[in-house]
Structure 1
Amino acid sequence: MQVLKNTFVVTGGLGGAGKTIAKSVIDQGGYVVLLDLLEQKAGEEAASGISTTKAIYVQTNITDENSVKNAMRIASNAFEKRLSGLVHCAGVSMSQPWTNRLGDTIDRVRKMTDINWIGTYITSALFADAVNERYEPEKMKKGELWTTKEERGVIINFSSIAGAQPASRILGYSPGKAAVSAFSVALADFLGPSGIRVNTVSPSVINSAMMGARLPYFIADLSKSASFPARPIEPEEISSAVSFLINNSMMNGHDLKIDGGWRVFTDRSVDREDPRVLAPSLE
């Protein structure tokens, strides 16, 4: 899928990774519709800092079907360019102190699941519908299906290496990201006849404001258990991986790990402090 003269939706578009991906799309001659939760006026001001002519902002709640439908309708008609891509960066990592009572985690995990997993389903589904509607025959019968050999779209969902390496610290976060990866593989198969490719990227720790006070803990953990390089990922390293998945038309149903060979595990060595004390929170 070429980026040039095509429109791409970027969710979480005002975050560190989202902004960098949006700039990369524009640098390649594309256009971006940024979706995020920031109030519309403030979001528009932020989008103008990316580009005044090739970026627009739509305040969107990815867990709300009508909100996402509205965003995709706007994206379909934006810039008078073809809507061709979705890069779904939006997600959260909600944390709380460690607890022996699992019942204390239920509300938080439910919220994370709604955003990280259900939000991915809603956004991917409605993007695919927006692409398919452009090609749907006017007199198409109900239930009628079609197949194309033309590449018509590409979806890149953000998973995490936590989805492939569940551990106690990421009790609620990792299963949701595993669901994103599994869903994306199934969706790639489902959308094959529509000419829409689906892949995931699975980063480890991204060097962004979202990490906040937890970043020193992760830097220390990376120094012990990453192969190389043992450091957080810079947003530009995410955007270059996303560009590869967009531009290479043979990449489909693939999970691209961006992790420096980091291995997530719980260190219960007898000569170390309780890992529940060392870890900043339970996610």
Structure 2
Amino acid sequence: MKISNKTFIVTGGASGLGEATVRHLVSLGANVVIFDLGDAKGKLLETEYLNKVKYVHVDVCDENQVQDGIDQLVKTFGNTLYGVINAAGIGDPCRVYNPKSGIVHSLKSFNKVMNVNVTGTFNVLRLAVQQMMKQNAPLCGKDQERGIIINTASIAAYEGQIGQASYSASKGAIVSMTLPLARELSMYNIRCVTIAPGLFLTPMLMSLGEKVRESLAKQVPYPKRLGEPNEYASLVQFLIENSLMNGEVVRMDGSIRMSSL
């Protein structure tokens, strides 16, 4: 699928991996609608890329807000939705039980992580698929593609560390839904793939401090550094353009396999 002149939704597009994806897709001629809660940064991106980026304040877990965002997409760019990049996600590290404090893992916290990362991802993609199916936009290329869904998991889905039970469970769910989604959506010429990033220079990691980041980077076999958001964005481009990529989870991690701590 060619990217130019097509419209994509990027959730979490106001920062981190999502922001890098927004910038990269626009550089390739796409229109992008950002679904995020970061109003200040989202509006700045909209202003920076006037007539190419639309920011919509969207809680991905709220079906009315997501549908409103899709309606605004159609109003702004017409019936040109060809893809979703689900990059919105949260984490809340916590042990199941802390013997020193006697504190048990909050069920509210666990449910919040699962809700944003799993329910939010599914909520956006299901309504986006509905729009792709009803908009009667031209199909793409020799394979007659209708669109693509790109979800974001994590290597924590495979090697979750202590304290990552909720985060790993949520990302494991994203991995597990990839193939059944791809099988179903293939009937409509829509692909579904997932990226499982390793350690990337996102706002979450940047908040840990330089020494911690250096220590984490040394754990990566090669290249011995943290991933850069633009590298994630480049993989998004490859997945969009290569129509044989379907039903796959792609690790992007420098071959790191996380230890328990």
- TM-score normalised by L of structure 2: 0.89
Instruction: Give how far 1:105 is off.
Output: 3.4
Does residue 200 in structure 1 map to residue 194 in structure 2? yes
> Percent identity, aligned pairs only?
28
Instruction: Give how far 1:218 is off.
Output: 4.8
Partner of residue 85, structure 2: 87
Q: What does 1:172-183 correspond to in 2, within 5 Å?
A: 172-183=166-177
Distance 1:207 1:103 in 2: 30
Q: What does 1:1-283 correspond to in 2, within 5 Å?
A: 1-39=1-39, 43-49=42-48, 51-80=49-78, 82-96=80-94, 99-100=98-99, 103-135=104-136, 150-214=144-208, 216-224=211-219, 226-266=220-260, 275=261
Distance 1:93 1:55, change over 3 A: same
Distance 1:112 1:102 in 2: 19
Distance 1:69 1:134, change over 3 A: same
Distance 1:81 1:2, change over 3 A: farther
Partner letter of residue 45 of structure 2? A
Where 1:163 maps in the other structure, the secondary structure is helix
Partner letter of residue 57 of structure 1? Y
Distance 1:99 1:108 in 2: 15
After the TM superposition, which parts of structure 1 deviate over 3 Å for at least 4 consecutive aligned residues? 100-103
Q: How many residues align?
A: 252
Distance 1:127 1:32 in 2: 14
Distance 2:214 2:163 in 1: 16
Partner letter of residue 207 of structure 2? A
Larger Rg: 1
Instruction: Give how far 1:159 is off.
Output: 0.6
- Alpha-carbon RMSD across the aligned residues, in angstroms, is 2.1
Partner letter of residue 37 of structure 1? L
Partner letter of residue 84 of structure 1? Y
Instruction: Mark the runs of 5 or more structure 2 residues left unpaired by the alignment.
Output: 138-142
Contact 2:93/2:163 (<8 A) preserved? no
- TM-score normalised by L of structure 1: 0.83
Distance 1:45 1:81 in 2: 25
Deviations along 1:156-200, whole A, 9 cap, x unmatched?
Answer: 011101112233232211111010111122111110111110101
Contact 1:11/1:18 (<8 A) preserved? yes
Contact 1:5/1:81 (<8 A) preserved? no
Distance 1:91 1:46 in 2: 19
Contact 1:76/1:130 (<8 A) preserved? no
Distance 1:198 1:255 in 2: 9
Distance 1:44 1:60, change over 3 A: same
Partner letter of residue 181 of structure 2? L
Partner letter of residue 132 of structure 2? V
Partner letter of residue 71 of structure 1? G
Deviations along 1:128-183, whole A, 9 cap, x unmatched?
Answer: 111112249xxxxxxxxxxxx62100110111011122332322111110101111
Distance 2:156 2:56 in 1: 30
Where 2:163 maps in the other structure, the secondary structure is helix
